[in-house]
Amino acid sequence: MTVVASAGNGGEKGDHVSYPAAYPGVIAATAVDRYGTRAPFSTRRWYATVSAPGVDVIIADPDHRYYEGWGTSAAAAFVSGAVALVKAAHPDLTPAQIKDLLKDTARNAPADGRDDSRGFGFIDPAAAIEAASRLKPEGLKSAAYGDKYFGPGPDTADSGGDTADWAAPGGRRRRRAAGRRRGRVARPPPRYDEA
């Protein structure tokens, strides 16, 4: 899974390290204004990958209205959209390949190729999609766990679709015993696919 995170809004408050942006493999988005200049609030750190619009951006609000806002979260939304477009066009690419694509195809790169305020430059989704067509997908494998991930998950074969067998300690037996103590038998939760 490709992970995008905002670099942080601490540019005027000491540029403190921001997680999850600082984790290895994460695509960290910094914010720039309409001219491509680093936004003063945008955190400057070693983990900056690419920049995107983050000043005077139209943002949807939970009250179903739009407003003009700012922040590296807005920039991260743009970068996430670019990742989604690349992934939709080339679903077999690995997260590392997508991160490299965004870095390699960024526009207006800093003089030295990269800096802590704008990463490798301004995100260019169209260039990334075009460049992706020339890549061969690499095989996905877990870097930390090898072939073993997080186990097989809950064994639902014996549960009959009832999550109580694996979602709570003691499962169905404990729930039924609790129901009898109160003088009634507990019923399983309703299934939404039943009429």
Q: So what's the pLDDT on residue 188? A: 56
Q: So what's the pLDDT on residue 187? A: 53
The domains of the chain are located at 4-132, 152-186
Q: Please, is 65 exposed, middle or buried when counting C-beta atoms within 10 Å of its C-beta (0-12, 13-18, 19+)?
A: exposed
Q: What are all long-range contacts of 107-115, with beta carbons under 8 Å and residues at least 24 apart?
A: 108/36, 114/48, 115/44, 115/48
Q: Average pLDDT across each block of 10 residues of the chain; the chain has 195 residues. List them in order.
A: 92 84 93 92 91 92 90 94 95 94 94 92 95 81 52 53 51 44 50 53
Residues 6 or more apart whose CB falls under 8 angstroms from that of 81 comprise: 125
The tokens of 154 are what? Answer: 């809950």
Model pTM score? 0.69
pLDDT in tens, 60-90: 888 999 999 999 999 999 999 999 999 999 9
Q: Which CATH architecture has domain 4-132?
A: 3-Layer(aba) Sandwich (3.40)
Q: So what's the pLDDT on residue 139? A: 64
